[in-house]
Amino acid sequence: KDRTVIITGASSGLGKATVAALNNAGGHHIVMAVRDAAKAEQVAQELGLPAKSYSILELQLDSFESVKTFVRKFKATGRQLDCLCCNAAVYLPNQPVPTFTPDGYEESVQVNHLSHFLLCRLLMADLAKSKNDPRMIIVGSITGNTNTVGGGAVAPFANLGDLKGLEAMIDGEQKSMMDGKEYWGAKCYKDSKLANMMTVLQLHDRYHEDTGITFSSMYPGCIAETALFRQKRGWFRWFFPIFMKFVTGGYVSQEEAGERLAQVVSSEDCSESGVYWAWNGGAKTVGWYDFSMGGVRGAGGAGGKVFKCNPSAECRDKVLGDKLWELSEEAVGMT
Ligand code: NDP
């Protein structure tokens, strides 16, 4: 029987490539959860998706109300959910000032973390009913994992501090970062990715035993050509893929990255719960610098095999994880 898979941000980059990979593999009905339905329809046509193999449902991740409406509409389809894949994200490195959602949160905090947190929670009971290998995935990143080159050697560094900033946002203050410090768009992104990975560990601890759901996060590699880098200047968008391909070796094509996420959605290789998956392919040693960090820490690159990557100490911090969980519940109105 076809597995029903919801993918957020299915209309671009990694999400689109994952739809393509799942379509090639067959055996899936894909629910494209997107902010722009017309764009998603165009993508479906471009990929040649058979009419019955996909549906499109609107989801605006900068609005909790939209998340709730999405869940209502999905439930009304009567489909049994087998996999929820939280992939959408914004990266806002060039903004001098933060943007806030209508719900009052800094944009990357809500789009990347809080709305996906709410989506996971609202779909948990449905997913738990699946008899077809239920999985819940939130895409992470090397940049939110400070024990890797991409996360530990290039500032800013992901750090949630004591979450005072998130607490202040909940109290209605226009705080822009979860640690309460001054706004830095690139850091907001990295912090949100750290929160994504911490959420997966929390989900595993809290729900795996009772529900049998496989909870995973993953780092797809540096997909240097996606629209994620839309705020970067022209020269950067030209140079970054070349640098990542020929200097660090951390580059991966959109197609290969899509195959990786599709593997986490469906492959036996990724059926263990509570894991942050990565692939170590072409990451290089340049002079004295080993971009693969010994080839075991998830620096990415094309090729290579999937392996269990070690999340940073902050990511595994149980006390901080519990606090993030409780505050996230409060933020999305679940308490
Ligand atoms: P893209 O910008 O190509 O894709 C992001 C997707 O998120 C788009 O489909 C976009 O919609 C959607 N989106 C953005 N804002 C909203 C919103 N408010 N509501 C609903 N949907 C929204 O980037 P990538 O494909 O590169 O990123 C996908 C994932 O991969 C992210 O989680 C990112 O953190 C992760 N990642 C990417 C890496 C890379 O090198 N590119 C490396 C590591 C992780 P639309 O199509 O309408 O623009």
Q: Mean pLDDT throughout 291-312? A: 68
228 Cβ inside 6 Å of ligand 1: yes
pLDDT at 293: 47
Omega before 98 cis (within 30°)? Answer: no
Structure tokens at 75: 């439930």
Q: Could you report the per-residue pLDDT of 169-178, keeping only the tens digit for each?
A: 999 998 899 9
pLDDT at 298: 46
Confirm if 96 and 195 have CB atoms less than 8 A apart.
no
Distance from the alpha carbon of residue 154 to the mean position of ligand 1, in angstroms: 21
Distance from the alpha carbon of residue 108 to the mean position of ligand 1, in angstroms: 11
Q: Could you report the per-residue pLDDT of 1-10, keeping only the tens digit for each?
A: 899 999 999 9
Q: Is the pLDDT of residue 220 over 60?
A: yes
CATH 3.40.50.720 fits 3-331, yes or no: yes
Q: Answer with the residue of higher pLDDT: 248 or 196.
A: 196
36 Cβ inside 6 Å of ligand 1: yes
State which ligand 1 atom lies nearest to the alpha carbon of 111: 18
pLDDT at 295: 46
pLDDT at 149: 60
For ligand 1, atom 29: residue with the closest CA: 87
Q: Mean pLDDT throughout 168-190? A: 94
294 pLDDT band, cuts 50/70/90, is: very low
139 Cβ inside 6 Å of ligand 1: yes
Distance from the alpha carbon of residue 325 to the mean position of ligand 1, in angstroms: 23
pLDDT at 251: 81
Confirm if 302 and 221 have CB atoms less than 8 A apart.
yes
State percent of the chain over pLDDT 70: 90
- Helix, strand, or coil (residue 272): coil
Structure tokens at 184: 């830095």
Ranges of each domain in the chain: 3-331
